[in-house]
Structure 1
């Protein structure tokens, strides 16, 4: 399946400002299930763009601007080929079929911080909630993760949230709602507390059931590392497992490392007037 992605962002300011360097994470990661066919990046005002890969291998564009402006336009056009199966079968190493299991020494060293919970849980609320999904010992590893994925969706309803940043996992549980990035963060923290290596993913979602002229969406989900099978996608927002209809752009330890666009300006705090984002994901 070939998909065309158009991601346009416009920032408007009340007066001319000096733009600081902007970090752009907009070009998808190539994987065995996703091939990037073409990509373009257009900015106004003009900018010097330098490309690099970060510690996770994500493709990062750093844009620096010479002119002051009252409007910044960033437009990314991408065409990809997606071949992830709708009903995936995962070849997990025999030693990891049952939970709990132990990663190899090399895997533990390489996963590093992706194994470590990131949030303090002084009242042990999160640990107590997570442990309710472990109904036997040993238990089937993949079934446990599927139950956890569904459990996050059951505990917190999806809602659009325009505020920047990610809620803490405990806040998402307390509010019983959150954005896709909030639900993914809760799943990741929970998986790490069970001893799994987990990471955050940002990208796009293609929904084949929507009209071709309907707007697409940026999306956030999680991946868990299982020996031999590698990184497996878990999308608690839609209670899905596997990479079908997902276009990963970047991975990281946490959502704040993989924001599509980050950067500031020199001016007054109220100089930013508004921001407009348009995303289209269409099959071709």
Structure 2
């Protein structure tokens, strides 16, 4: 399946302001089931671009601006080929088929902070909630993860949330609602409390059921590491497992590390007028 992705962000200011460097994580992560065919980046005003890879291997562009401006537009266009199967079969190591299992010493060392919950868990409430999905010991590892992934839908309703940042998992459970990044953060900390290595993912979702012409959006989900199978995608917002219809751009320990565009300006709060984000993901 070949997909075309268009993503533009426009910032508007009341007067020309000095633009601070902006960190861009917008380009797809090529893998065995995602082939990046073409990419382009356009910024107005034109910046100096410095390219690097972060500790997770994400492609990061830093845009530095010499001139002041009352608008900033960052636009990318990408064409990718997504070939992940809709019904994947995961080759999990025999020793990890049943939960609980123990990661090897090497895996524990490499996973590091991806094993540690990010948010405080007052009185162990989140850990108890996660353990509620364990109906017996031992139990099937993949079935347990799928139960948590689909069970979140029954506890949390999706809602668009324009505020910056990510809710804590306990806030998401208390509110019984959250954005895709909030729902992904809940899943990640829940499975970390059960001893799994998990990481946050940002990118795009292709939804074939959306009518042609509707705008798309960026998306957030999670991945869990299982021996031999590697990183398995879990999208708790939609209750799906596997990478089909997902286009990852960045992975990290938490959502705050993988925001598509981060940056600022020199000036007062009243100088900022607004921001427009447009995303389109279409099959070609």
TM-score, L = length of structure 1: 0.99
Shift of 1:91: 0.6
Q: 1:201 corresponds to which residue?
A: 201
Say if 2:147 is the partner of 1:184.
Answer: no
Say if 2:243 is the partner of 1:265.
Answer: no
SS of equivalent to 1:282: strand
Q: 2:143 corresponds to which residue?
A: 143
Post-superposition CA distance 1:63-121 (Å, at most 9, x none): 00000000000000000000000011111000000000000111000000000111111
Q: 1:112 corresponds to which residue?
A: 112
Shift of 1:122: 2.8
Distance 2:192 2:153 in 1: 17
SS of equivalent to 2:146: helix
Distance 1:252 1:25 in 2: 11
Shift of 1:163: 0.3
Post-superposition CA distance 1:189-246 (Å, at most 9, x none): 0010000000000000001112232211100000000000000000000000001000
Q: 1:173 corresponds to which residue?
A: 173
* 1:245-284 to 2 correspondences below 5 Å: 245-284=245-284
SS of equivalent to 1:14: strand
Say if 2:212 is the partner of 1:212.
Answer: yes
Distance 2:240 2:188 in 1: 15
Deviates most, 30-39 or 208-217: 208-217
SS of equivalent to 1:183: helix
Q: 2:154 corresponds to which residue?
A: 154
Distance 1:257 1:117 in 2: 15
Q: 2:71 corresponds to which residue?
A: 71
Distance 2:275 2:214 in 1: 20
Q: How many equivalent pairs are there?
A: 284
Q: 1:22 corresponds to which residue?
A: 22
Report the aligned-residue RMSD. 0.6
Distance 1:26 1:68 in 2: 24
Distance 1:67 1:174 in 2: 46
Distance 1:120 1:5 in 2: 37
Distance 1:122 1:156 in 2: 19
Distance 1:211 1:174 in 2: 33
Post-superposition CA distance 1:245-277 (Å, at most 9, x none): 000000000000000000010001121101000
Question: Structure 2: which 5+ runs fail to align?
Answer: none
Distance 2:216 2:245 in 1: 12
Distance 1:202 1:14 in 2: 31
Distance 1:179 1:202 in 2: 13
SS of equivalent to 1:186: helix
Shift of 1:17: 0.4
Distance 1:212 1:84 in 2: 23
TM-score, L = length of structure 2: 0.99
Distance 1:270 1:115 in 2: 41
Q: 2:128 corresponds to which residue?
A: 128
Q: 1:58 corresponds to which residue?
A: 58
SS of equivalent to 2:122: coil
